[in-house]
Structure 1
Amino acid sequence: MAAMAGVYGPLMHLKMGFVHVIVAASASVAEQFLKVHDTNFSSRPPNSGAKYLAYNYHDLVFAPYGPRWRMLRKICAVHLFSSKALDDFRHVRQEEVAILAHALASSGKMTPVNLAQLLNVCTTNAIARVMLGRRVVGDGSGGGDAKAEEFKSMVVELMVLAGVFNIGDFIPPLEGLDIQGVVKNMKKLHKRFDTFLNKILEEHKITGSRGTEGHVDLLSALIELKDVDHGEEGRLTDTEIKALLLNLFAAGTDTSSSTVEWAIAELLRHPKIMARAQEELDLIVGKDRLVTEADLAQLTFLPAIIKETFRLHPSTPLSLPRMADENCEINGYFIPKGSTLLVNVWAIARDPNVWIDPLEFRPERFLPGGEKPNVDVRGNDFEVIPFGAGRRICAGLNLGLRMVQLMTATLIHAFDFELPNGLSAQKLDMEEAYGLTLQRSVPLVVHPRPRLGPHVLKF
C-alpha cells in the first residue's frame, strides 16, 4: 500500500470485494480523517476477528462507538490508565523490569538468550499483576518457561489471525464457506483464551485480591462494578470483563515487548547511538542502582530513541480499521457511508516528503536542532502516530510509553549486548513478519554483558 501511495497519492480508494476501502498514507490526509472528521470515523467495520476472537464485539477495541464503548473506555481510564493508577503500580513495573535484568545477568553468561521471550514475560507479568494481582507466567525469576512460551504464541497467533485478509469479510456471501480456514482457527484460539480467562475470573470471584501494597487490582474493581447500574450503558457483564482482559493482555504485552526488541536491535546496529544513550544514563542514574520511572523525566536522548523506534517500527503498522458512519467529503473526494478506513501508519512515518533520510535510524531528529524537535507520539502530531489518534486512540498509550521507556533504559544502562557466533550487527536480520502488529521475522538472540555490578543486578 505504501508503494501504491507513491504512485497514486496519499488518499486512495480501493475496491476490495464488496467493500470500499479508503487508505490514508500521509500525515495531512490522516489528520483529516482522525481529527477533522474523527466523529464520523469512530466505529469499526464488521470483521471476523472481532466476531470470533473478541467476544462478538463486546470488547473495548472493536466495540461499536456508543454508550457501551464509552463505559468500557471510562472504566479503563479511571482504574487502569489514569495518572494515579499508573503511579500506584509504578513499583510493580520496576520490580518486573528488575527481575528481567536479573534473569539476563544470570542466564546470559554462557548461552545466548532469546530477548523477545524474556521481554514478553516481563510485560505480561507487569500487566497481570496490575490487572489480577498476580503473575500469570514464569515463577518470578524472570526466566522463560513453557507456559510463558505458550501464552506468547497465543498472543502472536491472535495478532496474525486478526491481521489476515479474510475473504469472507470483503465478500459476505463467501463468509460461511470459510475458504481460507481463518474462522476455524479463530474459533479454536478463542476457545483457548476463553478457558484461560474463565479460570482467572472464577478464581478471582472466590479468592478476591487486593494486589500488592493494598491497591485493588483491575479485575477486583471490574467484578465490583458488575453491581453498578451505569444508566443508558447498562451493567457490566462477565463477557465484557473477559473481552476487556483479552484486549489488555493482547494489546499491552506483545506491542510493548516487540517495540523494545526493535529498539535494542537498532542500537546494536548503531553503536555510537548506544554509547551516547549509555553515557546519559550513567550521568543521570549512576552505576549503583537500576533506572526508575522517576529518572525517565530527566532523560532527553532516550525518549528520542523511543520516538525513532516508534517511527521506523510502529507496533501497529496499519491502523485498526474504522468505518464511515455517514457520507462525507475529504480533500474534495466523496467518501461513501460504510467505507472502511485504513491509516497507513508505517508509510506516513517513512514519507520522504516529511522526513530526511526516512529509512535511517536517527534519534537526533527529535532533539532540539533536529528536523522534528517538537513532534510527539501521543496522537497530536500526525507525522508519527504509533498509538493512533482521535477518539479511538490506544487507551493504554501512557502505560505503553512508561513500560517501553523503562525496559529500554534499563537494558541499555545495565548491559552491553553481543550477537551470538560472532555475527556482525550490520548483518542482523531486520525483516518484519506479517500480522496486525509489527513483529521481527527472526527473534533477537543476544549475549547480555553486565555493565553494572553484582550488587545491582544480583547475579
Structure 2
Amino acid sequence: MAMAAELPSYLLLLALLVMIPLLYLKVSRGRPCNSGRRLPPGPWALPVIGHLHHLAGALPHRAMRDLARRHGPLMLLRFGEVPVAVASSADAAREIMKTHDLAFASRPIGPTLRRVLQGAEGVVFAPYGDAWRQLRKICTVELLSARRVSSFRPVREEELGRLLRSVGSAAATGPVNLSELIAAFVADSSVRAISGCRGKNRDEFLRLLEEGLKVVPGMSLPDLFPSWPLAMRLSRVPGQTEERRRGMLAFLDATIQERQENRAAAAAAAGMDEHEDLLDVLLRLQKDMGSQYPLTTMNIRAVILDMFVAGSETSSTMLQWAMAKLMRNPKVMQRAQEEVRRELAGHDKVTEDGLKNLHYLRLVIKETLRLHPAAPLLLPRECRSPCQVLGFDVPQGAMVLVNAWAIGRDPAQWDAPEEFVPERFEEQGSGGGRDFKGTDFEFVPFGAGRRICPGMTFGLAHVELALAALLFHFDWKLPEAMVPEEMDMTEEGGLTTRRRSDLLLVAVPRAPVPIE
C-alpha cells in the first residue's frame, strides 16, 4: 500500500505530545466494546496509530504475511481508527469470498475516496447495492463478455504489430525498455477498444495513472483518522489524487469527443454505423436505462476508467513480470519459446487463432499470477454485517483485506512456493487443475465472488497474445553480460505491485515482424 509516502508525516505529527492524548481519547471513545465477542488475534498495538508501525520498512503484503505467520491466518489490526481484518489463508479467503460473500460484498468509502469520486464510484469502488449490481451487469454482459472481448481481436492484433515494430526499431540501438513498450501497447489497445481511437496525450495519461496507483484507497491520513477534522487539511493525498483524477478524466473526455467526431464523420461518409466500441455501448444503454438508476455521463466516465485500470493495468503488470520471470529462469524460457515456435511454424505472424494449442505458455501465465498477483491485497472489502470467519467475530464496518500474494505462496498449499515452476499446474498434488477464475481459493489473483475482477478476460487477451509474439519474433538476452541472478526483481508498492525498475532487455530478431 502506498501509505509509505505519508507515514513519516504520521510519525512526525503523532510525536507531538500535545496532540497524542487528544487523539487517543477520540479513538478510545469511538472503539467498539469487545464484550462477548471472540475477535481475531493480532500483534501488539500502539496508542493512536494502532498497528501501522508493523508495516514500516516493508511492503504491506509482505509485512502482513510475516505477521500472519505469528498470529494466524485471520488477524484483526487497527490502522489509526480503522479496524482491519486480514485474511492470509485459502480457508479464510473462502469464507470471506464465498461462504459470507454477501456480508463482505461492499467497498469501504473513506473521506478521501468520497471526495475524489464525488458520487460516481463506477464499478470497482462502488458500495454494494442495486446501483452497483446494475453497473456490474452492464460490464459483465454488455462490455466485458467473452463475445465482446473477442470482437476487439483486430484492434489487439494491429496494436501488437506496432509493439513488435517498436521493439525491432529500439533493438537496433541497444537494450529495449520493454516496460515502456508493453505499457504503451496495452494502453493503446485498451483505449481503442473503449473509444475506437488511440487518444491524444497517452503518455501523460499513463504517468497520471501510474502515480495514482501508488495510493491505496483508505490509507491516507483522513481515512485513518476520519473523526479528526484536521486530517483532511494536513494530508496531501486528497488534493494530489483529485488532481490526477481530473487529468485522467480530461484525457478520457478528449478521447470520447474525438471518437464522437470521427464516428459522425464516418457515418456521414459511409451512410452507416461503424463497429460498436465500448463507449458506443454505454451511450446506447444510457438512452435505454430507467430513471431509478440512470447511467449518467459521470457514471460512464467512471466505468471507462474502471475498465482501463482493471483490464489494462493488470495485463501490463502481468506481462512485465512474466518476461522478467522467464529471463530469470532460462530453462522455462527455452521450453516456452520452443512450444510457441513449434505450434506457429509456417506462420509469418502471431494471431489469436494460433494461441489455441499454447498449453505451456498458459502455465507460465498462471505461475506468474501465483507469484505476482497484480493487486497483492486485492481491493479492500467492508464487513456489512457481523459474521464469523474461522470461528472469529469480524466487527461490522471493518475493512477486510485478502492477502492473495501470501495465499499464492503458502507452503501448506504449494510445493516449493517461492520457486517459478509452471509445470506445477499440470502435476497432480502440486497445484494441478487449479485455476484463477474464483473457485480455487488457494489461487485468487483476481479475487472471487461478487467482487471478482470484471476485466479478467479483457486483460488476459492482451497477455497471451503479446507474450506469444514476443517469444516468437525475438530471442532475449540480459544486457551487459548480466546473469539471471543479478536481475532486480524488487516490487514497487501501491494498489498494484509493479516492478520497481524498468525491464531492459536485448532483443535479437528471430522472425520478421509484420509490416504495417
Residue 87, structure 1, aligned to residue 150, structure 2: yes
Partner of residue 221, structure 1: 281
Counterparts of residues 47-446 of structure 1 (less than 5 Å): 47-48=110-111, 50-136=113-199, 147-162=201-216, 165-174=219-228, 176-178=230-232, 179-208=234-263, 214-230=274-290, 232=292, 234-286=293-345, 288-369=347-428, 371-446=430-505
Distance 1:326 1:288 in 2: 57
Distance (Å, rounded) in 2 between the aligned partners of 1:213 and 1:129: 16
Q: Is the 8 A contact 1:50 1:56 kept in 2?
A: no
Taking a change above 3 Å as real, the CA distance of residues 116 and 152 of structure 1, as seen in their structure-2 partners, is same
The 5 A counterparts of 1:5-44 are 5-44=68-107
Deviation at 1:100, TM superposition (A): 0.8
Deviations 1:386-406 (A, max 9, x none): 111100100011111221111
- Distance in 2 of aligned mates of 1:408 and 1:207: 32
Identity, in percent, stands at: 38
Give the CA deviation at 1:225.
2.0
Q: Distance in 1 between matches of 2:118 and 2:163?
A: 33
Contact 2:322 2:368 in 1 (8 A): yes
What amino acid sits opposite 1:229 in the alignment? Answer: M
Distance apart, 1:213 and its partner CA = 9.7
State the Cα deviation string for residues 160-203 of structure 1 (Å, max 9, x = none): 12368312112113355333311121121122122222223344
Structure 1 residue 50 displacement after superposition: 3.1
> 2: distance between equivalents of 1:186 and 1:337?
28
Q: How big is the shift at 1:33?
A: 0.4
Deviations 1:22-52 (A, max 9, x none): 1000011100000000011111011255324
Kept after mapping to 2: 8 A contact 1:379/1:387: yes
Which of 98, 105, 108 in structure 2 is aligned with 1:45?
A: 108
**TM-score, scaled to structure 1:** 0.92
**Shift in Å, 1:354:** 1.1
User: Gaps spanning 5+ residues in structure 2: where?
Assistant: 1-63
Partner of 2:124, secondary structure, is coil
Q: Which moved more, 1:164-173 or 1:409-418?
A: 164-173
Structure-2 separation of matches of 1:9 and 1:177: 32
Q: 1:207 to 1:102 in 2, by over 3 A?
A: closer
Contact 1:311 1:386 in 2 (8 A): yes
For the 8 Å contact 2:425–2:431, the answer to whether it is kept is: yes
Q: Flag the structure with larger Rg.
A: 2
**Matching residue's letter, 1:172:** P
- Shift of the alpha carbon at 1:335? 1.3
Closer/same/farther in 2, CA of residues 72 and 161 from structure 1, 3 Å limit: same
Secondary structure of the residue aligned to 1:45 is: coil
RMSD, aligned α-carbons: 2.1
* TM-score for both structures, normalised by structure 2: 0.82
When residues 93 and 9 of structure 1 are mapped into structure 2, their CA distance, relative to the original with a 3 A threshold, is same
Q: Residues 310 and 453 of structure 2 are in contact (CA less than 8 Å); yes or no, is this contact kept in structure 1?
A: no
CA distance in 2, matches of 1:315, 1:298: 26
1:55 touches 1:239 (CA, 8 Å); kept in 2? no
| 2:205–2:247 contact (8 Å) kept in structure 1 | no
Counterpart residue number, 2:34: none
Matches of 1:264 and 1:287, distance apart in 2: 24
Q: Which of 69-78 and 223-232 deviates more?
A: 223-232
Describe the SS at the equivalent of 1:416. strand
Q: How many residues end up aligned between the 2 structures? A: 447
Structure 1 runs not aligned, ≥5 long: 138-146
> Take 2:263 and 2:433, find their aligned partners in 1: how far apart are those partners?
45
Deviation at 1:118, TM superposition (A): 0.6
Is the Cα–Cα contact under 8 Å of residues 112 and 222 in structure 2 kept in the other structure?
Answer: no
